[in-house]
Amino acid sequence: MNEIINTFVDNLFSYPYKKKFHWATNVQSYGTGTEQRNALRGQPIREWGCGYKILTATLRDQILELFNRSQGQFNTFLWEDPQEVLVVAAECSITAIAAQTDFQLFATYHLGESELWTEDKKDIQAGAVYQPTVRLDSVTKTEGADYTLDDTTGIVIFGAAPGAGVVFDADFKYYFRVRFVEDTFEVSEIDKETWSANNFGMVQVIS
């Protein structure tokens, strides 16, 4: 699904609000006390969650509709994380190679540090929501005339190759593709027309 939960559900989260970063490491320990560690992936998987203390009937129905249309964990949807939504040019900058016309939008985390990593970004916010800015050697290009952007894949395609050594950069906003963390969602009527829910969580889906 391409529903955006931020706009589908009013007042999405209550506090306390939780966010987790999941890395994956294989650790082999030896009798000597030494160990060997191998990273199993090059980026974290994020997880978000909170508990609703008070729900109106409208909010209850919005959450339940999205949950049941998602069939629990099965279908994915979109989430705008207010803490991670904007990528600026310095975080998405790459030097073109000869004949290259396609550029994947991405984000660089902890730029300038030896432990930096990059993540391809898909599900781009575009058009009326937020207009991405794409540049070649610091010159802003025009979507439609100079390039096309596939909002789903995050790939920018130029009609003509910019040429080897040309610097491509962009700033843009994006969504995370997520799913629910459980197949069960429970709501309780704690007073007349007053509801609560304790287990609302989403996890990032990498494709």
For residues 182 and 198, give the distance between their C-alpha atoms in angstroms, rounded to a whole number: 12
Tell me which residue of 183, 186, 178 sits closest to 204, measured CA to CA.
Answer: 178
* pLDDT for the residue numbered 54: 76
Answer whether residue 168 shows pLDDT above 80.
yes
Mapping DSSP to helix (H, G, I), strand (E, B) and coil, where does residue 6 land? helix
The tens digit of pLDDT for each residue in 67-99 reads 999 999 999 999 999 889 999 999 999 999 999
Q: Over pLDDT 90: what percentage of the chain?
A: 70
Q: Can you read off the two tokens belonging to residue 197? A: 């829910």
* pLDDT for the residue numbered 203: 96
Higher-confidence residue: 47 or 187? Answer: 47
* pLDDT for the residue numbered 95: 97
The tens digit of pLDDT for each residue in 135-152 reads 999 999 999 999 999 999
**φ and ψ at 96, to 5 degrees?**
-70, 150
Tell me which residue of 95, 96, 116, 91 sits closest to 106, measured CA to CA.
Answer: 91
Answer whether residue 3 shows pLDDT above 80.
yes
Higher-confidence residue: 181 or 15? Answer: 181
* pLDDT for the residue numbered 13: 62
Q: How many CB atoms lie within 10 A of CB 188?
A: 10
Rg (CA), the chain: 21
- C-alpha distances in Å from residue 137, one per residue of 131, 159, 164, 169, 205: 19, 17, 12, 8, 33
Answer whether residue 62 shows pLDDT above 80.
yes
3-state secondary structure 117-177: EEEECCCEECCCCCCCEEEECCEEECECCCEEEECCCCEEEECCCCCCCCEEEEEEEECEE
> Is 122 within 8 Å of 104 (Cβ atoms)?
no
Q: Over pLDDT 70: what percentage of the chain?
A: 94
Domain ranges in the chain are 5-80+177-204, 86-174
Answer whether residue 10 shows pLDDT above 70.
no
Higher-confidence residue: 162 or 10? Answer: 162
Answer whether residue 160 shows pLDDT above 80.
yes
pTM summary value: 0.89
